[in-house]
Structure 1
Amino acid sequence: MNLDPERRKTRWKVQWGVPARAAGGTARAAVLSSDERREIARKAAKARWARHLPQATHEGVIRFGDIEIEVAVLDDGRRLITQCGLMVGLGRLRPPKGRQYYRSGANLPAFLTVQNLKPFIGEGLVVLANQIEFRSKQGATTFGYAANFLPEICDVFAHAQGAGVLKVTQRNIANRAQIIAEQLQLSGTMRLVDEATSYEARETQV
């Protein structure tokens, strides 16, 4: 009887005393398609990666009048603005169809990659735009940005508005950014995150 290589390997393991669990796993793998094996490997890698994600220890909301932005502090002390919090705080941004983007904005949120904002996007902002993957206090995998990304975005819209290059669809963002920037100048981003999450208060009590 002719056996394919994987089945011969499984029979060899059984004959030479390899534990049944290991041999059975090999047998199951032998009957899976390549796509099924890749999917299993992808899920296993994702599970391993999730175990090593930073964990949010403190969460809260910063309020700028009617504007609310979700924030968090990670177990390594990093202060974050959640991705969802940023988008909601600046007006649930969805770029219109047909808008032109520039290629160098790969890491940036889509609303910052439009051509008329390009002159106001520095390299430092692009670096800050790298998303940070972490686990919420409830264990859900989510994304955020470094807290000092927020004032940098506000500066972009302030300069673009001063230069008179904003489109009508961007003016609501600019108005929200101005309100946020005024409060950030008074209190500071990190301090507001700490207050919103009770991080500072808790740490001083320890």
Structure 2
Amino acid sequence: MTDDMFSSRAKGGIARREALSPEERAAIARKGAAARWGVKATHKGNFQQELGIDVECYVLDDDGKTAVISQTGMGKVIGLSARGNAFPRFLATKAMSDAVGAELREKIENPLKFQWGTGGAEQPPATIHGFDATLLIDVCKAIIETEAKGTLPSRYGRVAMQAHIIVGASAKQGIRDLVYSLAGYNPTTEEIIAAFKLYVLEEAKKYEPEFPNELYVQWHRLYNLAVPERGKPWHFKYLTVNHVYFPLAKSNGKILDLLRATKAQGGDRQKKLFQFLNAIGARALRIQLGRILEMAESSANQQAYERKIVERFGGQQEFDFGINASSEPPPPSEQSQPGAPAS
């Protein structure tokens, strides 16, 4: 190639570059960078603080601004183990093979690979494997389809429950966001997170009752309470507030503010506490109920049970409802109200 030919080609390249719009130049630059280094993530988040599960998520710098959930996170969010290969292994099982079509299988077998981090000699960018977040909905639908056919093994019952919750909550969030867009309203980040948490709670309630009947059976036994013909004994209100709600709210450091609010506003204190608990999450409630039920079942009598409550949570008021207590609640007084937790 002669010098004149080289110069001519160089001038032609410069002319073509100058004819491009700034957006076209930026797109070409991104493609070139992706070819050299791979796609990069511009933002990173985690489900932990808002939804109580350690799942990493990212937004890529590609044209579609792809929302990504890490491969490990995909498994954890549907209730699988934290092992990195748990998600693809589950979908490769015989039970799931019929529901996972060719297109979905290809995406699962070819996860997205992208860079996260600023790079440099001391800390080079990390290569992350993940999946387009919308893939989670396709997977959940496949799980639900397998469950409906009766071919999903019973050991995956929790996975099926999670799939129902995710699909239901996401559908509600999607139609809400569509209406917002059509109406020209742009919700804040906090509003979006709060709405999704609410939808998750609504969906979760369909599959897991808040209070197991076994706990009520144990309270009847420990406090020697007669079973009423209808409803539950009034005593259960005090047990619920002091042994379930108070320790749980106290653990988040907000109980004193809550008590002041309920005292100032009046109304049903138990209802206020339940509303507060919803802000914490259904998962925290289930964990607390599991602890209380274990203590109740392993206690021979009321004294042993309350001793365990005090040792575990501290500052719990003891109750003397008496044998075959009246079905009428005691008159309101400072002594009959649930006590504040110890500082």
TMscore range, shorter length: 0.5 to 0.7
> Which structure exhibits the higher relative contact order, with contacts defined as CA atoms closer than 8 Å and separated by 6 or more residues?
1
Q: What pairs up with 1:82-93 in 2 under 5 angstroms?
A: 82-93=70-81
Q: So what's the TM-score if we normalise by structure 2?
A: 0.35
* Separation in 2, partners of 1:85, 1:185: 20
Structure 1 residues 85 and 109: alpha-carbon distance in aligned structure 2, compared to 1, 3 A threshold: same
Q: Name the CA shift for 1:73/1:65 in 2 (closer, same or farther; >3 Å).
A: closer
Deviation per CA, 1:36-82, whole angstroms, max 9, x where unpaired? xxxxxxxxxxxxx9951211101113478544532111111222111
Q: What stretches of structure 1 move > 6 A for 4+ residues in a row? A: none
Amino acid at match of 1:83: Q
SS of 2:79 mapped into structure 1: coil
CA shift, 1:110, in A, is: 0.7
2:157 is matched with which residue?
Answer: 171
Q: TM-score, normalised by structure 1?
A: 0.55
Shift of 1:160: 1.0
Shift of 1:195: 5.0
Conserved? CA contact 1:70–1:86, under 8 Å: no
Match of 2:148 among 145, 149, 162: 162
Residue 131 of structure 1 deviates from its aligned partner by 0.5
Mapping 1:114-153, distance limit 5 Å: 114-129=93-108, 130-137=110-117, 139-153=125-139
SS in structure 1 of the partner of residue 142 of structure 2:
helix
- Residues 58, 137 of structure 1: 8 Å contact kept: no
Extract unaligned runs of 5+ from structure 1.
1-48, 96-107, 199-206
Report if the CA contact (8 A) 2:90-2:96 is conserved: no
Aligned to 2:263: none
Q: Secondary structure at the match of 1:109?
A: helix
Query: What code does the residue aligned with 1:134 have?
Result: F
In structure 2, the gaps of 5 or more residues are: 1-33, 119-124, 178-187, 193-343
Q: Which structure dedicates a bigger proportion of its chain to strand?
A: 1
Q: Percent identity among equivalent residues?
A: 27
The answer to whether the Cα contact below 8 Å between 2:80 and 2:159 also exists between their aligned partners in 1 is no
Q: Which has the larger radius of gyration?
A: 2
